[in-house]
Amino acid sequence: MKAPVIAIAGNPNSGKTTLFNALTGTRQRVGNWPGVTVEKKTGNCRVEDRELELVDLPGIYSFSASSEDEIIARDFLVSGNAELVLNIVDATSLERGLLLTLQLLEMGVPVVVVANMMDLVKERNLHLDIDGLSRELDCPVVPMSASKGKGLKALKSMVLEKIERPEMSKEPISRPPAIQQALPEISALLEEKTLQTFRSQRSRDWFCQSLLESEQSFEV
């Protein structure tokens, strides 16, 4: 049985690679993404009796990507090749990190939010309501200090739960009627093989809306 693919995505310097190293240890492979010189890191992790394949994506702030690194990360997330996304955010700077989170949830991607650097939250006498954030996002939020390995066991348990019982998150925003009505028209103009790239109607709708909103190109 093919190992489920799990993507690790987040802003630059959010702790993605630290988390990737903690999960995979020495079971890593380094290459390049097809057609570019951007480094591609993949690895394997075993949680109980399940073998998982992890992909450490380049840092990305949002799907409004401009740099080569960000475009690679965005296109992989949009492709639907990952069964689960570990969206790592800097817990000391949530406002910046959650933009990507909301875009992932809007697209219907199964997400576990990893609130990293909780040790710094404590040091700075800040407070983060993990349960409240999880309720607002309608997805699991796992507190963690990846550099110290704290929270790793809880994260592995959550990953296993989501892989075995995947659930789509609720849609965090509603679309204006004019946009909602335009989506089937845009969809009808696209090739079937393009639409098949997206695993759910919500992700297809998200892609069509993105074409309305942006002049960017997507590789699907």
pLDDT (tens digit per residue) in 56-104: 999 999 887 778 888 889 888 888 789 999 999 999 999 889 999 988 9
Q: Cα-Cα-Cα-Cα dihedral of 151, 153, 157, 160, to 10°? A: 110
Type of residue at 80: G
Type of residue at 169: S
What is the pLDDT confidence band of residue 194, given thresholds at 50, 70 and 90?
low
Full set of structural domains in the chain with CATH: 5-164 (3.40.50.300), 177-213 (no CATH)
Q: Is 182 left (phi over 0), alpha (psi -120 to 50) or beta?
A: alpha
Type of residue at 145: S
Question: CB under 8 Å to 170, separation ≥6 — which residues?
Answer: 138
Q: What is the pLDDT of the chain when averaged over all its residues?
A: 84
Distances (CA, A) of 88 to 10, 174, 181: 5, 25, 34
pLDDT tens, position by position, 131-143:
999 999 999 999 9
Global pTM reads 0.80
Type of residue at 82: A
